[in-house]
Amino acid sequence: MEPVCPLDFRYGRNEMKEVLNHRARVQRCLDVEAALARAQAAVGDIPKAAAKEITRKASLKHVSMERIEEIERSVRHDIMAMVRVLSDECGKDAGKYVHLGATSYDIVDTALALQMRDALDILEGSLDSLIMALSDKAGRYRDLVMVGRTHGQYAVPITLGLKLAVWVAELRRHKRRLKEMRPRLLVGKMSGAVGTGAALGEHAFEIEGLVMKDLGLGAEEAATQIVQRDRMIELFCNLSNLSVTIEKMATEVRTLQRSEIGEVSEPFDESRQVGSSTMSHKRNPITCENITGLSRTLRGFLIPEFESGIQWSERDLSNSSTERFVLPHMLILADDIVSKMTDVISGLVVSQERIERNLEEAGEVIMAESVIMLLCGKGMGRQEAHEVTRKAAMEYYSGKPYRQVLLRERSVKELITEEELDSALDPKNYIGKAAERVDRILKSRSP
């Protein structure tokens, strides 16, 4: 059968897919079964030889995926199919102890925690690479003055370094959130059908503790049949939040790459890349547009997981099908957009010529705030200074030179000299602590 999901052939990095694919899920379920057997042997509930044999056979080298799928078509239960195949591989003496006292989601939820842990390791590595690329560019363009924009209009000067450093600080916060939630997210359960642990007997707490210690996970304090979904919801909210930042970055690059702006652009392979099937001159920001679409797709998976947190009594099956989509898709997409943005930033093309030209074309009127502060420093009231410069700006937009209009005002001429006005109208003299703020962010060791 040909693949249908674009993750199978178009999007996502293989490293992340290998952690989250179906085979990886089954292998981690086998890992949990083996850990359970070892714990039960440690407390004396099953023979140590049986635990050793279960551990040896709990691998896809021995457990056939084809056989699991064959049995599942008959019994319509994936974990039961896996348990039967593993039991058969272990033989009669050891096989009878496989899955003893456990319920399916003791295995599934604990296995999902293992997958999420490995996936987060990869994602955090991707974030580190993006932060490093951004930090390098922020330092390089620390002092490059450009026109700032608010509401799509010229504002006051900023530096490209500060624009990029803002993203560095924001991504560090995302990384910190991912780290901080790990103890809440990375937990498993071994407490049976409704969370009482009755089938595990008097050693239930000890068995659960041994399993989770063996696997390097925390334990759900109080489970029903499943680990409570507020934990996964937190992960998916954090991934959605991260996607907003990545899309914001992509949108800014796309905006500044517009033909009439042309200040920065994503990398474009001029030797072979095609921008359009008909307009051969095009150099479209396809990576940033791709990031935008995938970010929105990622966030679209958030609502189904919120709904999965609502279960009938101790559990129903409504979350199972949902999470088979949501978990791998959100993690693969998150890693994909971070990796693609790293490529964009690493190869970011900066046109200093266009930046300087746009700053000049913005005109002296964008320095109105600078003039206000100069006039206030000379004794004029803030509101009066604002009105004087506002009126001058309105005349500027009707075609009159801003500087001349200002100097025509007696209240202005009485307070400042032409040389002082020249200095106030120079964008390079009005970037405040932009460079120092970049330095502070880059020197910070906050994760």
pLDDT tens digits, residue range 360-376? 999 999 999 999 999 99
Mean pLDDT of the chain: 94
Could you give the domains of the chain? Answer: 6-95 (1.10.275.10), 113-271+280-357 (1.20.200.10), 363-443 (1.10.40.30)
Average pLDDT over residues 275-301: 86
- Contact between residue 438 and residue 162 where contact means Cβ atoms under 8 Å apart: yes
Sign (positive/negative) of CA torsion 285, 289, 290, 291?
positive
- The pair of three-digit structure tokens given for residue 401, joined into one six-digit string: 């030179």
- What is the pLDDT at residue 312? 87
3-state secondary structure (DSSP) of residue 145:
strand
Measured over the CA atoms of residue 4, residue 300, residue 313 and residue 224, the dihedral's sign is: positive
Q: What percent of the chain has pLDDT over 70?
A: 98
Query: Would you say residue 276 has pLDDT above 70?
Result: no
Contacts of 325 (CB under 8 A, 6+ apart): 301, 304
How open is the CA angle 58-61-66, to the nearest 5 degrees?
A: 95
State the pLDDT at residue 447: 53
pLDDT, tens digit (0-9, with 9 covering 90-100), for 396-440: 999 999 999 999 999 999 999 999 999 999 999 999 999 999 999
Read off φ and ψ for residue 265, nearest 5 degrees: -155, 155
The whole-angstrom separation of Cα 40 and Cα 356 is 71
- Strand, helix or coil for residue 376: helix
Between CA 202 and CA 268 the distance in angstroms is 65
DSSP-assigned letter for residue 317: S
Question: Would you state the pLDDT for residue 273?
Answer: 74
Catalytic residue among 77, 276, 411, 444: 276
Amino acid letter, residue 413: K
Q: What is the DSSP string of 3-63?
A: --SGGGTTSS-HHHHHHHSHHHHHHHHHHHHHHHHHHHHHTTSS-HHHHHHHHHH-STTTS
Distance CA 124, CA 235 (A): 13
Tokens of 5: 């999901």
pLDDT of residue 274: 72
Summarize the confidence of residues 163-192 as an average pLDDT: 97
Compute the average pLDDT of residues 194-203.
Answer: 94
Number of other CB atoms surrounding residue 336 within 10 Å: 24
Regarding pTM above 0.75, the answer is yes
Kindly state the average pLDDT of the residues 437-447: 85
Q: Is pLDDT above 90 for 189?
A: yes
Q: Is 174 labeled as catalytic in the residue annotation?
A: no
3-class SS of residue 147: strand
The catalytic position among 64, 74, 126, 151 is: 151
Element spanning 64, H or E? none
pLDDT at residue 446 tops 70:
no
Per-residue model confidence (pLDDT) at position 353: 96
Q: What distance, in Å, lies between the first and last C-alpha atoms of the chain?
A: 45
Residues β-bridged to residue 349: 265
Instruction: Give the per-residue pLDDT at 277.
Output: 67
Tokens of 271: 């030797």
For 13-29, how does the pLDDT look when each residue is reduced to its tens digit (9 = 90+)?
Answer: 999 999 999 999 999 99
pLDDT in tens, 94-147: 999 999 999 999 999 999 999 999 999 999 999 999 999 999 999 999 999 999
C-alpha 322: how far from its chain's center?
21
Q: Is the pLDDT of residue 275 over 80?
A: no
Q: Which residues does 302 contact at the CB level (< 8 Å), separation at least 6?
A: 236, 237, 240, 330
User: Is 151 assigned a catalytic role?
Assistant: yes
